[in-house]
Amino acid sequence: MFRIKPVQVPSLSEAVLITVAILFIMGSSIIIYDAPPHIPLAISLLLLVVYGLIKKVPYKDLEEGVTEGAKAGMAAVFLFFFIGILIASWMLGGTIPTLIYAGFELVTPSFYFAIVFVITAIVGMSVGSSLTTVGTVGVAFIGISSAIDASLAITAGAIVSGAFFGDKTSPLSDTTNMASSILKVDLFEHIKNMTWTTVPAFVITFILFAILSPKLTDTNFGKMEQFQQGLLDTGLVHWYNGVIPIVVLLIFSIMKAPALLALAAGSLSAIAISYINGATPVGDLFGVLFGGFVSETGVSEIDELLTRGGIEDMLFTIGLVLLALSMGGLLFTLGIVPRLLASIENMLKKVRSVILTSALTAIGINVLVGEQYLSILLTGESFQSQYKKVGLTNKNLARVSEDAGTVVNPLVPWSVTGVFITTVLGVPTLQYFPFAIFCLLCPLLTIFYGFTGKTLTYIDKEKEGAERNIHAENMAKRKMI
């Protein structure tokens, strides 16, 4: 957002005061009153407009700041529409139900907590939503752990770790798409770059959960079997339902096709399969793609897991993205964020300091506000120029935004996801906190790489210079014409 030129330069005290006021509005509204984040965002937006008018900033400039800020999220908005369509079509075509069923087939009495972690990771990648994974399969595993007298705190930690691994690495995830879109990094390139932190964190987490797992013999896995039977009863579980759409998505990924086309191809393949399994009237199909798939098995856990997707399901996230970016646009227009960053600019001259500061910023927003979307958005927008100054590409910042933004949110007791997880699983945040191993490792690994310089991608100066020269030549030709 540094493309948005400030119309004023506030004092440092003013910038700090406005920032604290916004954090107070966001924090108190979400933590104390359990308000949807849209409302405090709208209030904060109004506060910034009033502040701008008091400072005699023309309303037209404020309006332009809002619209310029929102423009940064339009690529993400279009992707969210197609993600909603993909999820709905993958439910209708049986892709997601088949993947979940296959995950349950991995369960054995040995290495129980490690298996819980792996299965929730698979489901999280399939669904693209950590909260849906926690609220459905996670609840099932809490029930199983209660029946076999396994630690609920460790079970919850394994569930949260797996769910957020899936959320962080799934092309269906809204946070993953948001980070890549805001920073203009190809979706699959972003996911690939995150493997430097996600894979080591996954392996270490798996080993630790394997060590922590109790030795189970003759245990009652009846609840899990009921869940599997419920999935079979839907008639959606067939091997080709799960394989074909994923292969299509992988082929487009290998071809490095734009994410929009890959998502569209994956959706069309699932829709084609749904017609093979049984024709769906076109009118009903359109209804599913917009309103989402509705499961009516009569088994509440199954219906809650499978009833989702569609464009309508994405409107909450889209509204939040546009409001947050609009507020960000005003923060830059009024010079508040540039003033705060200028006060610490002398400290941001080395790669390690830039990565550490951006990671701590993402963590700080999570702790103070409890909102992972704002953590990703504000961190990504605020540090782009700093990363460029030290020669780092945007995909480094995209990775840091997720490593210290997405996965930190469930570790905060008053955050949106922290409250949700505690309510649904019945395990307090501070109890599962030390066992949410994957979520604890990701920010540590991203900071470690920042200090060592390993796995970082630097701007190709020669390529950048050549592109700049070509651009200058093209501009000169246009002027001559």
Q: What is the pLDDT of residues 95-128, one digit of tens each?
A: 888 888 887 777 777 888 999 999 999 888 887 7
Amino acid making up residue 205:
T
Class of residue 60 by CB neighbours under 10 A (exposed 0-12, middle 13-18, buried 19+): exposed
Could you state, in order of their start, the residue ranges of all structural domains in the chain? 1-342+413-456
pLDDT > 50? residue 243:
yes
pLDDT in the model for residue 17: 94
Q: What is the pLDDT of residues 340-399, one digit of tens each?
A: 877 877 677 788 989 999 999 899 888 766 678 878 887 887 788 889 888 999 999 999
Which residues face 458 on adjacent strands?
A: 392
Q: What is the pLDDT of residues 47-98, one digit of tens each?
A: 999 999 999 999 999 999 999 888 877 877 887 888 889 889 988 998 888 8
Query: If you write DSSP's letter for every residue of 282-300 in order, what string do you get?
Result: HHHHHHHHHH-B---SS-H
Q: How far apart are CA 397 and CA 180, in angstroms?
A: 10
Q: What is the pLDDT of residues 299-348, one digit of tens each?
A: 777 887 788 889 998 888 788 778 888 888 898 899 988 888 778 776 77
- Residue 36: CB partners within 8 Å, gap ≥ 6? none
pLDDT in the model for residue 154: 95
Amino acid making up residue 375:
S
Rounded average pLDDT over 409-433: 85
Higher-pLDDT residue of 156 and 319 is 156
Residue 436, number of CB atoms within 10 A of its CB: 24
Q: From the centroid of its chain, how far is CA 436?
A: 17
pLDDT in the model for residue 216: 66
Question: Per-residue confidence at 269, pLDDT binned at 50, 70, 90?
Answer: very high
Q: How far apart are CA 411 and CA 423, in angstroms?
A: 14
pLDDT in the model for residue 466: 45
Taking the CA atoms of residue 156, residue 160, residue 162 and residue 168 in that order, the dihedral angle to the nearest 10 degrees is 180
Question: Per-residue confidence at 467, pLDDT binned at 50, 70, 90?
Answer: very low
Residues counted in the chain: 481
Residue 477, number of CB atoms within 10 A of its CB: 9
Q: What is the pTM of this model?
A: 0.72
Cβ-contact 125, 170 below 8 angstroms: yes
Average pLDDT value for the chain:
85
pLDDT in the model for residue 451: 92
Q: What is the pLDDT of residues 14-44, one digit of tens each?
A: 999 998 998 888 878 877 887 888 898 899 9
H helices present in 234-350, as ranges: 239-254, 259-277, 282-291, 300-306, 311-333, 336-343
pLDDT > 70? residue 200:
yes
Q: How far apart are CA 471 and CA 453, in angstroms?
A: 31
pLDDT in the model for residue 473: 54
Side-chain-facing half-sphere of 100: CA atoms under 13 Å: 33
Question: Per-residue confidence at 136, pLDDT binned at 50, 70, 90?
Answer: confident
Residue 214, number of CB atoms within 10 A of its CB: 17
pLDDT in the model for residue 437: 96
Rounded average pLDDT over 137-160: 85
Per DSSP, 392 falls in state B
Residue 261 sits at φ, ψ, to 5 deg, of -70, -40
pLDDT in the model for residue 153: 94
Q: How far apart are CA 91 and CA 102, in angstroms?
A: 15
Q: At what angle do helices 259-277 and 187-212 cross, to 10 degrees?
A: 70
Rounded average pLDDT over 131-139: 80
- Tokens representing residue 221 in the block: 């896995």
